[in-house]
Structure 1
């Protein structure tokens, strides 16, 4: 798909990551790319942090792009990683910042567990190497994630690609995968509501359990990300039907992280979008 020629003037990419978490580009760079591709709006939804929002909002004002303040909260239910997107949260409130900082400790614990398991497998990777890899990728704040560990595995020749790192070691089912106790999705829904935001279930097709997705909806999720690069056409159709059945807001986003070793994860910015009118549904102050 040639995104530069696509008609995106009335579309919003509602799922992008930056160097504030595990993305490769600064927040302002994501905004500039959205402008270049003709998007009307994009959301900054870094993992468990809102550190990139201020820079993105400033760039949005300067470039004439609507920036949606967001976050992607990492949770666990029934042993599965579940991600909950929050939009239009009161991102700079002290209470919200305190909650997010509590998640950083869990992410750090997970990283330590992964490195321990890698060492047991004969693949020594140190935290110093992970930090160095993160800095080399332009990261200067926020939380370290598995892509930064994967970058070291590639640099040391233990794997040949980001995909191999996740398939063999870091993803669910991988031999170094670790999943310490985390926030439950129901708790994330409550956090987002308390922060004045709107909750959306991220990429539900990745969880392998629509029953669990339905449970999260029943507990108050307000939207569902039907359009995602890792969803098949059948997935999209199924979640559109689910959204209609439950009266949910339908969103879409590229889950853009930037390019690592020649590969874009998950999709190119603007490759999956939603109509810009959905912003009014997501913003509680405009409903």
Structure 2
């Protein structure tokens, strides 16, 4: 069984519609795929219908922007009730902040001599739930300023660069609890891929496990082999679920092909058991896995 628990569609910053993504997952030989667009469930309905048609099991989720000890970190939330009011409130704030900082980023880029406009970004964002830095990066690619999203972030958009502007993100512990109360289950996304490993070492993960974190995304393209081994050891010591995934964005990211990393079936089964337990305790109407 091949299981990929982290993908993105046009509902956030991927380049495929949810239907195209489900169909691509089936062609890639996936048995189970999670749709985890940034801070939104907007693609769930379309992906659900496509997954049932394509014969692939779909886990509905999202990747939530959070902050931990002053650093931005991402939290994968699986099978929460998307109508749970506190979750909706946090997601609305995140999306509003994401779109709201676009004018400020554009202003900074133009001050640095980069000819890009808000209209350029809106065209790239299309039907996404909110415009964000990846769409600004795509606009820079289309303008010929950079060759791909990676160069755009490295040169202009990541912290410390000319176009970076801070935005709202929920506190990590708060969001772990919010997802739990929404009947879902949480996994830390690529924890050492973008931030200093020292900020999320074993002691930090132990505290987060006590707060309700279910797992760690260990097998990810942004982790080195040594980091994967160390994260796997931390997960074993703390009895956390180990997941692996592509973090696929269509053509928006290179070397993140569907199924390039996968989750072991026993770890997936355990994650689904934890999700079912969370839903039972919360008493929420949570989305089941569909298709397959």
TM-score range, shorter chain: 0.7 to 0.9
Match of 2:95 in 1: 104
Determine if the alignment matches structure 1 residue 193 to structure 2 residue 184: no
Q: 1:158 to 1:31 in 2, by over 3 A?
A: same
Q: 1:95 to 1:82 in 2, by over 3 A?
A: closer
What is the root-mean-square deviation of aligned Cα atoms in Å? 2.0
Match of 1:241 in 2: 233
TM-score (norm 1): 0.87
Larger mean CA deviation between 62-71 and 270-279 belongs to 270-279
TM-score (norm 2): 0.86
Q: Distance in 1 between matches of 2:254 and 2:198?
A: 24
Q: Distance in 2 between matches of 1:169 and 1:158?
A: 10
Write the deviation string for residues 62-81 of structure 1: whole angstroms up to 9, x where unpaired. 22211001110011233422
Match of 1:268 in 2: 257
**RCO greater where, 1 or 2, for CA within 8 Å and sep 6 or more?**
2
* Residue 235 of structure 1, CA deviation: 0.9
What 5-or-longer segments of structure 1 have no aligned partner? 1-9
The answer to whether the 8 Å contact 1:253/1:272 transfers is yes
1:278 to 267, 289, 292: 267
Write the deviation string for residues 90-145 of structure 1: whole angstroms up to 9, x where unpaired. 1355554343222211212332332222122122422221011223xxxx141222
Determine if the alignment matches structure 1 residue 91 to structure 2 residue 76: no
Q: Distance in 1 between matches of 2:141 and 2:187?
A: 33
Determine if the alignment matches structure 1 residue 51 to structure 2 residue 27: no
Q: 1:273 to 1:60 in 2, by over 3 A?
A: same
Determine if the alignment matches structure 1 residue 166 to structure 2 residue 158: no
Write the deviation string for residues 30-59 of structure 1: whole angstroms up to 9, x where unpaired. 111111121110000000001111111112
Map 1:1-287 → 2, pairs under 5 A = 10-93=1-84, 96-135=87-126, 140-206=127-193, 207-213=195-201, 214-215=203-204, 217-219=206-208, 220=211, 221-260=213-252, 264-265=253-254, 267-283=256-272, 284-285=275-276
Q: Distance in 2 between matches of 1:35 and 1:180?
A: 36
Q: 1:95 to 1:81 in 2, by over 3 A?
A: closer
The answer to whether the 8 Å contact 1:280/1:286 transfers is no
The answer to whether the 8 Å contact 2:243/2:268 transfers is no
Q: 1:13 to 1:63 in 2, by over 3 A?
A: same
